[in-house]
């Protein structure tokens, strides 16, 4: 009987041992395999490699593509210290719309990429080169180079005889690509000129008489949403039908659904003069309209 009991206990012990081995085999990693197991792979750090195109308009608006790796978390692209618009990030590319150049001048601007507040490294410095590539670019480049630094040798100044605003606007249109005509010119540093070049009402009449040839279109204040950078603004301070002043549009933005316009010009020389402030603060009750330039 003792022998039979011993046999049954030994059989039970063997069965338990086998069961333990079977259970261990479901979860345990053999010792010889534990040292060979790889740790979880870390996510690749984002990196920028190339910018294309690397050159574009000083007026902004070009769409650039940044290629690299692991760029899906990119949230900002900064060009020349200004945030680009419409940033769209994918795994290996980021697209963004370039802002205008500072003061509309050609410059090589640094390009920075951010994922949140973290700067994304680049394999080489990224640079966007602004250039005057359109007629409007050339017009605004000239305007911002000379709004407070008169081009006296070529065009002189008419401030001593009533104001230089039309002389300046005419210069910017020449820079845009317009050509002098027999009835619109300024030669010899301001020694030989026509009234259409220097006198606001005469200039306005000249635009009106040549509207078809020049392709210009008159727009009212209520049509300001159609105004573009480079268009001409005509002012009547006293609303008496006698025009007093003219400037060039330097910026058009939409703020809370309203179109805001800034201007560059001579006589109270300025580069970002606000249209609404001009008509409410500087000349309360004044009015204005625009010549849209194609």
Instruction: Give residue limits of the domains in the chain.
Output: 47-133, 136-292
Q: Which fold has domain 136-292?
A: endopeptidase fold (from Nostoc punctiforme) (3.90.1720)
137: which residues sit within 8 A by CB, 6+ positions away?
Answer: 57, 58, 59, 104, 131
Q: What is the pLDDT at residue 44?
A: 75
Is pLDDT above 90 for 108? yes
> What's the rounded mean pLDDT across residues 281-290?
97
Handedness of CA 135, 140, 141, 142 (dihedral sign): positive
> What's the rounded mean pLDDT across residues 34-42?
55
Is pLDDT above 90 for 40? no
> What's the rounded mean pLDDT across residues 126-148?
98
pLDDT tens column, 221-277: 999 999 999 999 999 999 999 999 999 999 999 999 999 999 999 999 999 999 999
Is pLDDT above 70 for 27? no
pLDDT band of 18, cuts 50, 70, 90: very low
From the candidate CATH numbers 1.10.150.20, 2.60.40.10, 3.40.50.10090, 1.10.3720.10, the one assigned to the domain spanning 47-133 = 2.60.40.10
Is pLDDT above 60 for 41? no
Q: What is the pLDDT at residue 39?
A: 59
Residue 170, Ramachandran bin (φ over 0: left; ψ between -120 and 50: alpha; else beta) = alpha
Rounded to whole angstroms, the Cα distance separating 92 from 47 reads 9
Q: What is the pLDDT at residue 13?
A: 47
Q: Is the backbone peptide bond immediately before 53 cis, with ω within 30 degrees of 0?
A: yes
Contact 215, 263 (CB under 8 A): no
């Amino acid at each position: 009987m003792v022998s039979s009991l011993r046999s049954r206990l030994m059989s039970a012990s063997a069965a338990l041992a086998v069961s333990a081995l079977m259970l261990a085999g479901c979860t345990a990693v053999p010792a010889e395999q534990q040292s060979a197991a790889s740790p979880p792979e870390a996510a690749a750090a984002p990196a920028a490699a190339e910018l294309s195109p690397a050159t574009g308009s000083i007026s902004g608006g070009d769409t650039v593509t940044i290629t690299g790796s692991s760029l899906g978390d990119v949230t900002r692209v900064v060009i020349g210290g200004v945030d680009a618009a419409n940033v769209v990030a994918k795994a290996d590319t980021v697209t963004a719309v370039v802002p205008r150049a500072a003061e509309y001048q050609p410059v090589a601007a640094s390009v920075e990429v951010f994922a949140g507040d973290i700067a994304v490294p680049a394999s080489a410095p990224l640079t966007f080169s602004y250039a005057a590539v359109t007629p409007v670019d050339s017009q605004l480049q000239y305007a911002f180079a000379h709004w407070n630094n008169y081009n006296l040798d070529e065009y002189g100044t008419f401030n001593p005889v009533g104001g230089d605003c039309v002389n300046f606007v005419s210069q910017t249109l020449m820079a845009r690509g317009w050509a002098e005509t027999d009835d619109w010119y300024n030669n010899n540093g301001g020694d030989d000129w026509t009234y259409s070049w220097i006198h606001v009402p005469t200039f306005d009449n000249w635009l009106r008489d040549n509207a078809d040839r020049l392709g210009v279109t008159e727009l009212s204040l209520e049509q300001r949403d159609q105004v573009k950078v480079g268009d001409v603004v005509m002012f009547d301070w006293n609303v008496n039908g006698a025009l007093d002043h003219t400037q060039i549009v330097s910026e058009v933005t939409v703020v809370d659904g309203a179109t805001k316009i800034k201007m560059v010009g001579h006589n109270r020389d300025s580069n970002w003069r606000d249209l609404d402030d001009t008509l409410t603060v500087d000349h309360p009750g004044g009015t204005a309209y625009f010549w849209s330039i194609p």
